[in-house]
Structure 1
Amino acid sequence: MERIILPLTKEKILEEYVERRISFTTEYAQLNIFDTTKIAEKITYQYEKPSILSMVTGRKVIWKNAVESYDFVPGETLVIPSSQKLTFDFPEANIENPTQCLTFSIDPSKIMEAVHFFNQNTILEKKTYCWDNDNNPIHLNYNEKVQNLIKGLVQIFTEEHPSKEMFADLAIKDLIVRLLQSNARLILLESKEVFGQENRLAFIVKYIQENLTESLTVDILADKACMSKSNFFKCFKNTFGITPLEYILSEKIKLAKKMLAQSNLSLDKIAFETGFSNAAYLIRQFKKHEQKTPGEYRNTLR
C-alpha cells in the first residue's frame, strides 16, 4: 500500500510533534492515519475500543513486555482488543519518509455482529470463536485479501459519498470476518495435535501438512473428513477464508521458505521435496505468493 497523502489542514499534532494524526469517522468506526516524522522510542498509545492496525510505510517495533518486542512492517496487521495500551519504537522515521500506520477503531457491537455471523458459518466444534482469546493483540503476517479490504475501507472513509455509512458498515464486517478466518487457521494450526481428533478441519489441516508431496484433491480431503465434497469445500472456505487447494499451496510455500532458509538445496530439489512438479512452477507460485522469487528470498536471509 502506498503512503496516503491527505490535506494538512486536518492534522492534529500528538506526542510532542512525533506523530501527526488525521481522523475520519462513521457511526460505528473511526479511521486514524498516523504519520510519525522522527525517530522515537517507547511511545505509548491507549486503545479504548477494539482496533485493527495496518502498516503502510516504514517500520514500528512493538513491545510485548519490558524485554520482548517484534517488528511491525508494511502489509502486516495487528488486531487489538479494547482497553489496551501498547508501546512502540519508530527506528526509521524521518520528515521526508514518515512511518505511516492506519488504525480502525470499531464499536464492540459491530465486532460481535461479525463474530456471531462467523460462528454460525463455521465448524469450529467445541470452540466458540470471539474477537480475542486471551485479551492479547494478534499479529498477522501479510495477507493480500486483508490488505485489499483495508485499501477499500480507506477509500470509503476518506471520500464523501451519500452511502458512506452503509458501505463502511458492510466493509468493516467483511474485514472482521476475514481476520477471524485468518486467526481460525492459527487456532487449528497451534492446537491440531490435541484438537485434531475432535475437529474435522483440524484433522484435515494435520493430514495436509503430513502429506504435502502427495496428490491432494478436494475429493480425497472431503472423504478423509467424512463430509460431502460440496459441504467440505463450503465449511473449509467459510472457516479459513481460502479454498482447500489455496491452503495446500500456502503450506507448500511455507515449507519451501523453511528449506530455503535452513539449507543450500537447489530449487529442483526443494521443488521435489515440497510437492511442486518442477522448479519453474515453484518459482512462479513463490513469487505470486511472496512478491519475490525463491532466490531473492534466500538472499534476504544472508
Structure 2
Amino acid sequence: KKVMHLPDRPAFDYLPGETVVVGEDELMEIDFPEACLGQPTQCLAVAIAPDSIRQTIDLLNERYPRAEAHTPWALAGPDYAHLTNTPELTGTLERLVAVSRTTDAAKDVLAGFTLQELLVRLMQTQARELIFNDYARHLTTHRFAAVVQHIKEHLADNLSVEKLSALACMSKATFFRVFKREFGLTPVEYIVRERLAEAKRLLRQPLASVAEVCLRAGFNNLSYFQALFKKHEGITPGAYRKHLST
C-alpha cells in the first residue's frame, strides 16, 4: 500500500487498483511504508495538459451530454477524487503505458487518443462512485439513482429493462444508450456485476449451498451462474468459498 498526503487534508491509504485525481498544481506526497529492496512497489503518475482536459470535456458536453443537464461532465470535484479502478479504466491505463514505451512513428497521436479515452473513463468512474455507491443522496436529483435503488433492492427478482427505463423516464433505447455513456457499462452489465457481488457475499455464509446462492443472487440457471462467476472471478463459486475458509 501507499499513503497519500494532500495539502490541508488527512492522509489516507492509497491501495493497488485505485486512482487519485487532483487538480492543476496540486502537491502530492506519497509514502511507501511497506516498500523495501525485497518488496518493491510502483506508482504511475499521469499529468494531462489542462487544454486537453478542457477540450475533451467540452466535446463530451456538446455531443454526448450526461443524463442530467445540471450535472455536466467534469473531472474530479472541488478538492480531489479517490476512485476504485474499473476494468475499463485499468485497461486504458495499461494501454497508455504500452503506448509510451513504443517506438511507433504515430506514438504521439496514439497517446493523444488514449489520454482522451482515459479522461472519459475517469469521469465515468466518478459517475459510478457518485450514483452506484451513494444513490440515496441523489434520488431527487438524478434519474439513474432510482434505477440503481430498484436494482439493488430487487436483485433476486426478474429485473425488466422496461421497468428500469420507465423509472428513468426514458425509452428503452435511450435508457441503454445514456446509461452506458454515463457509466461505461450497460444496465444489464451492471445488474450482472451487482448479482455477482451479492453472490460473493452469500458465499461467506457456510450453510447456504451454491445452488441456493445462485437463486438468492438472482440467477435462475446454476450452470450459467457458475460459468459467469468463473469468467469474472477466475475461479468457481465452490473454489471461492474454499478460498475464504483457508
- Deviation sequence 1:155-184 (CA, Å, 0-9, x none): 211112222222111111111101211110
Aligned pair partner of 2:44 in 102, 107, 114: 102
Higher alpha-carbon deviation: 210-219 or 287-296:
287-296
Aligned pair partner of 2:93 in 150, 160, 167: 150
1:70, 1:297 → 2: CA distance?
27
> TM-score with structure 2 length normalisation?
0.84
2:93, 2:120 → 1: CA distance?
13
Indicate yes or no: 2:7 matched with 1:61: no
1:67, 1:181 → 2: CA distance?
26
The equivalent residue for 2:119 is 176
Which amino acid in the other structure matches residue 182 of structure 1? T
Q: How many residues align?
A: 239
1:156, 1:86 → 2: CA distance?
27
Aligned pair partner of 2:57 in 115, 123, 128: 115
The equivalent residue for 1:38 is none
The equivalent residue for 1:126 is 70
The equivalent residue for 1:46 is none
Aligned identity (percent) is: 29
The 1:230/1:67 distance shift into structure 2, 3 A limit, reads: closer
2:98, 2:119 → 1: CA distance?
17
The 1:283/1:80 distance shift into structure 2, 3 A limit, reads: farther
The equivalent residue for 1:285 is 228
Which amino acid in the other structure matches residue 82 of structure 2? I
Indicate yes or no: 2:193 matched with 1:246: no
2:244, 2:226 → 1: CA distance?
16
The 1:185/1:137 distance shift into structure 2, 3 A limit, reads: closer
Indicate yes or no: 2:32 matched with 1:89: yes
Instruction: Select the structure that is richer in helix.
Output: 2
1:234, 1:138 → 2: CA distance?
27
SS in 2 for 1:106: coil
Provide structure 1 residue ranges, at least 5 long, that are not aligned to the other structure: 1-59
Which amino acid in the other structure matches residue 86 of structure 1? E
- Deviation sequence 1:24-46 (CA, Å, 0-9, x none): xxxxxxxxxxxxxxxxxxxxxxx
Indicate yes or no: 2:109 matched with 1:187: no
Provide structure 2 residue ranges, at least 5 long, that are not aligned to the other structure: none
Which amino acid in the other structure matches residue 157 of structure 1? S
Contact 2:56 / 2:116 at 8 angstroms: preserved in 1?
Answer: yes
Indicate yes or no: 2:69 matched with 1:139: no
2:51, 2:240 → 1: CA distance?
42
The 1:115/1:138 distance shift into structure 2, 3 A limit, reads: farther
Contact 2:20 / 2:82 at 8 angstroms: preserved in 1?
Answer: yes
